[in-house]
Amino acid sequence: MKENTARELERLFSLEGKVVYMTGAAGGIGAVLSKKLASCGALMAVGGRHLDKVRELAEEIQREGNAAFPVEVDVSDLSSIERATESIVKRCGKIDVLITMAAVNKRVPILHNDEKTWDTITGINLKGAYFTGQSVGRQMVKQRSGSIINVASYNSFMMLGGVGIYGAAKSGILAVTRAQAIEWAQFGVRSNALLPGHISTPLTTQLWTDPKRSGFLLDRIAMARPGKPEDLTGMTVLLASDASSYMTGMFYVVDGGCFAGGQPWDIGISYE
């Protein structure tokens, strides 16, 4: 690569010196992206409910020669959200990027569902992201800069059986993203939603290990394979970095061609 090309790319996409706070960082997608962002120069504040897990992740990142520290946070508890934000600001003086990754899911059809499941899923996936955004947003508005990446889902738009509550929460995330974008653009704070398609992680093991359900899903993915957490790296770096300086209030899908229509019909003629 030419030297000036490398310099320009580095200037656009570098996360050098940026403090990136991710909730749910020890999960399938979170752990991979935390390592990738740290290797792009970010100082990762890896947040999670279980301190031992995020501590282990932070140590792994440090062993790779990059920077990270653990943050204990339960996003279903507003006082825990506040404590986490305060501890990061106390340690680093700022938060440049927030990634609301924490989520849960339970696949139950509407007629079999109950209030407790509704409260748990929306409490973590929607209320948790909203109040984490409020807490970190307060700091970003004060510092007059910041980028928020709210992790939504393919299910923000398209349904699968049994994910009505999860989908409702992930649809709500898009409204939260737009609200943050229009209220905070004047303060230099951007907010965008990242919509992963079907990614193979512990959250989706149930789907990929069941031949009937994985066959159903593969038919709906043009690239005919599950996504890997690594597949989300490019979009995440773009949204976290200054390369997305004029992008706010929008959603970005990384789905191997699900929205496009999945695999083409067999019309008895080769597509080659």
Ligand X SMILES: NC(=O)c1ccc[n+]([C@@H]2O[C@H](COP(=O)([O-])OP(=O)(O)OC[C@H]3O[C@@H](n4cnc5c(N)ncnc54)[C@H](O)[C@@H]3O)[C@@H](O)[C@H]2O)c1
- Distance from chain centroid for Cα 69: 19
Instruction: Verify whether residue 166 is a known catalytic residue.
Output: yes
168 near ligand X, judged by CB under 6 A: no
The residue (of 187 and 208) whose beta carbon lies closer to ligand X is: 208
φ, ψ dihedrals at 187, nearest 5°: -105, 10
Residue of 19, 29, 136, 176 that binds ligand X (CB under 6 A): 29
Quote the CA–CA distance of 172 and 210 in Å, as a whole number. Answer: 29
CA 165 vs CA 35, 73, 193, 241, 257: distances in Å: 30, 23, 18, 32, 24
Residue of 3, 115, 202, 212 that binds ligand X (CB under 6 A): 202
Q: Return the amino acid letter for 148.
A: I
Residue of 174, 199, 237, 253 that binds ligand X (CB under 6 A): 199
CB 142 → ligand X: shortest distance, Å?
24
- Distance from chain centroid for Cα 269: 40
75 near ligand X, judged by CB under 6 A: yes
The residue (of 103 and 140) whose beta carbon lies closer to ligand X is: 103
Stretch that binds ligand X, among 4-12, 56-64, 139-147, 201-209 (CB under 6 A): 201-209
The residue (of 26 and 88) whose beta carbon lies closer to ligand X is: 26
30 near ligand X, judged by CB under 6 A: yes
CB 102 → ligand X: shortest distance, Å?
3
* Residue-wise DSSP of 14-81: --TT-EEEEETTTSHHHHHHHHHHHHTT-EEEEEES-HHHHHHHHHHHHHTT-EEEEEE--TT-HHHH
- The answer to whether 48 and 22 have CB atoms below 8 angstroms apart is no
The residue (of 60 and 242) whose beta carbon lies closer to ligand X is: 60
Residue of 66, 147, 180, 204 that binds ligand X (CB under 6 A): 204
- Ramachandran region, residue 61 (left: φ > 0; alpha: ψ -120 to 50; beta: rest): alpha
Contact footprint for ligand X (CB under 6 A): 23-24, 26-30, 48-49, 73-76, 101-104, 124, 128, 151, 153-154, 196, 198-199, 201-204
Q: Would you please indicate which residues are annotated as catalytic (active-site) residues?
A: 166
